[in-house]
Chain A
Amino acid sequence: MRLTPTLKAVAAVATLVLAATACGSSGSTGSSSGGLNPPDLKAQSKLGKSEGEVNLIAWAGYVEDGSNDPKVNWVSDFEKQTGCQVNSKVAASSDEMVKLMKTGEYDAVSASGDASLRLIASGDAAPVNTSLVPNYKDIFPDLKLQAWNSVKGKAYGIPHGRGANLLMYNTQKVTPAPTSWSAVFDDASKYKGHVTAYDSPIYIADAALYLKATKPELKIKDPYALDQKQFDAAVALLKKQNADIGEYWSDYLKEISAFKSGDSVVGTTWQVIANLTADEGTKIKAFVPKEGSTGWSDTWMISAKAKHPNCAYQWLDWIVSPKVNAQVAEYFGEAPANSKACAETSDKNFCTTYHAADTAYWKNIAFWNTPIQQCLDGRTDVKCVPYAKWVQAWTEIKG
């Protein structure tokens, strides 16, 4: 066989890959740090002098200095009052936040529950001394010292706001009105090709939450602590659901447009998306089904390697101060964390719409958490499926 030099090179590389693949499949071990034993870091005991600047990582809409919309600005006043120049970097996903925090160039981050535990475990986030954040006392008690923002009673951040993942449906096309998540799982075939779901591995928890209510024999206690059997059941349910899905959404403009055109008629959503879709004139309704729901709660955390910790602490206090917390919650579309923020919103019904102070409402919400090998629900006789496996399973579910 005559081969050209390029072809030879390709063949050589291919052979090499095949040979290497064949003989080394099980020879490696990634170091796994299962179990949550965060490095013993000390929280700051008192505030020092301002460093003159602070570097933040945030979700879009959390750190607004008027450059997107001149009327939306809560950074300039902070800079004037504290003398800390704010440099912010918008992250598009929890994974990007984790990655940016590892660089050590940032002082604080607005982490969701699916990132916060990872930051704590890897020692990238430091414990937070809540007595240095005067506004912490007004934070809703059911947000303090929760599984996603504390470890063994030690706070690792200041709660910023929260939201639930709701079931949204088109009231003209979906009848009778659904009351349960079965509308997107067991009964989804009724709207085949028009069902939508959130495009992220964390959505597996939504399936687990549904199974918790409908398949008691699986004994699911916490949708973020699934052993292999429970996890497989959730994945199987989602694979079945995939046949009925029209499209998954991660960009919320995409979901609005799909509901508007009728390409999606039922699926998960956030309150802010429901409001915007309704504003566009689409007849929709969004609610928490009888099984309860998953949700997210964001936490401002401080980097263990912060170069400007004093400014970072001042930022944490500023962002949860009643007025600013109300502003950011209204702009982003989430329930504020500060109980006094409800008096400061421009729309007086805002806190009612978003159930900010409704403790009973939040009791039914399982907030995003990072699945780790050591089961978060306290079981010690089994190993739970870690998040990396969730990611892989999500790819397989989508097929």
Chain B
Amino acid sequence: MSLLNRTAGALYRRPRLRLSLLLTAPLLWLAVLYLGSLSVLFVSAFWTTDSFTSEVVKVWSTDNFHELFTVPVYRQVILRSIGVALAVTVLCAVIAFPLAFYTARVAKPRRRPLLVVAILTPLWASYLVKVYAWRLILSQGGLADWMLKPFGLSGPGFGLPATVLTLTYLWLPYMVLPIHTALEQLPANLLDASADLGARAGRTFRSVVLPMVLPSVAAGSIFTFSLSLGDYITVQIVGGKTQLIGNLVYSNIELNLPMAAALGTVPVVVIVVYLLAMRRTGALSSL
């Protein structure tokens, strides 16, 4: 009893000790498991492998990064992956904005929660089921072909456009939600004031709504961009012969772990740069 009392007393007198005891475990978790594994990834990118047995040889070398910058195929795949991530992000933003505007401001308030739930329902289904559904839709004579036939067109087939389309479908809810929230919180009196001052709908949208919602679009784009950049399963299923960074990491992971690690640092760097760019828009505080 006295020991407990003394400990309690000591802790009471030393608020800093109290705080550090409280924070040690979560901080350790962050540092060791998260940052630790990232640094292990980075360090192992400097090792090499035995060409025959594929064993990792812990010899310091920068060959992997040298290859990353000099072999054309890597550059090509990296640029393609970034292009896919940007295309998905733009498509998501373009589709999500009117959708969110409807759910947040046009629809009857009573129906709004229901509509949000409806937007979220695709997230309840398994990722693989959704992607395989798209494989069926886009296959020869599938739904896409059938619907476009009357117009004399055919579906995109498997390939890069199919990948962008499927990823856009997959990540759309992550874009709709932040925009919906921002539009919902938009004070109605600002819109009224804008109208009172003589602005028409278009002008109000450009000068009042857009600047206030833009941080949320940026916040949503962080999700769509990073999720697309890391994806390698969708592209395997609907991408035809397309390769993205994730596929290169996957194909190297067994035989050439250091090269896979070097490739794996690319999305990390790209996303850090993207986050820094998005921070300027104030997106991080509206997540």
A complexed with B: yes
The reply to whether B52 and A254 form a contact with Cβ atoms under 8 Å apart is no
The reply to whether B59 and A388 form a contact with Cβ atoms under 8 Å apart is no
Contacts of A1 in B (CB 8 A): none
The reply to whether B139 and A99 form a contact with Cβ atoms under 8 Å apart is no
The reply to whether A247 and B240 form a contact with Cβ atoms under 8 Å apart is yes
Range for the number of chain A residues in contact with chain B: 35 or more
B79 near A: Cβ within 8 Å? no
Check A372/B48 contact, CB under 8 A, given A17-B65, A28-B61. no
Interface centre among A30, A262, A398, A399 (most CB of B within 10 A): A30
Q: Nearest Cβ in chain B — how far from A232, in angstroms? A: 15
A67 near B: Cβ within 8 Å? no
Give A380-393 as 1s and 0s: 1 = Cβ < 8 Å from B's Cβ atoms. Answer: 00000011110100
Give B235-273 as 1s and 0s: 1 = Cβ < 8 Å from A's Cβ atoms. Answer: 001011101000010011011100000000000010011
The reply to whether B50 and A246 form a contact with Cβ atoms under 8 Å apart is no
Check A262/B66 contact, CB under 8 A, given A388-B51, A399-B243. no
Check A387/B52 contact, CB under 8 A, given A28-B63, A262-B140, A395-B251. yes
The reply to whether B61 and A99 form a contact with Cβ atoms under 8 Å apart is no
The reply to whether B61 and A247 form a contact with Cβ atoms under 8 Å apart is no
Q: Nearest Cβ in chain B — how far from A216, in angstroms? A: 30
The reply to whether B51 and A25 form a contact with Cβ atoms under 8 Å apart is no
In chain B between 42 and 89, which residues have their CB closer than 8 angstroms to a CB of chain A? 46, 48-55, 57, 59-63, 65-66, 69, 71, 73, 76-77
Range for the number of chain B residues in contact with chain A: 35 or more
**Cα of A263 to Cα of B269 in the assembled complex, Å:** 37
Q: Please, which residue of chain A has its CB at the minimum distance from the CB of B42?
A: A13
Q: Please, which residue of chain B has its CB at the minimum distance from the CB of A247?
A: B240
Contacts of B63 in A (CB 8 A): 24-25, 28
The reply to whether B140 and A118 form a contact with Cβ atoms under 8 Å apart is no
**Cα of A245 to Cα of B242 in the assembled complex, Å:** 10
Q: Please, which residue of chain B has its CB at the minimum distance from the CB of A119?
A: B53
Interface centre among A24, A118, A387 (most CB of B within 10 A): A24
**Cα of A10 to Cα of B272 in the assembled complex, Å:** 8
**Cα of A373 to Cα of B53 in the assembled complex, Å:** 12
The reply to whether A399 and B65 form a contact with Cβ atoms under 8 Å apart is no
B141 near A: Cβ within 8 Å? yes
Give B131-148 as 1s and 0s: 1 = Cβ < 8 Å from A's Cβ atoms. Answer: 000011001111000000
Q: Which 8 A-B pairs have the closest CB atoms?
A: A28-B61, A95-B254, A261-B139, A262-B140, A30-B48, A122-B53, A388-B51, A24-B62
Footprint of A on B, CB under 8 Å? 46, 48-55, 57, 59-63, 65-66, 69, 71, 73, 76-77, 135-136, 139-142, 157-158, 237, 239-241, 243, 248, 251-252, 254-256, 269, 272-273, 276
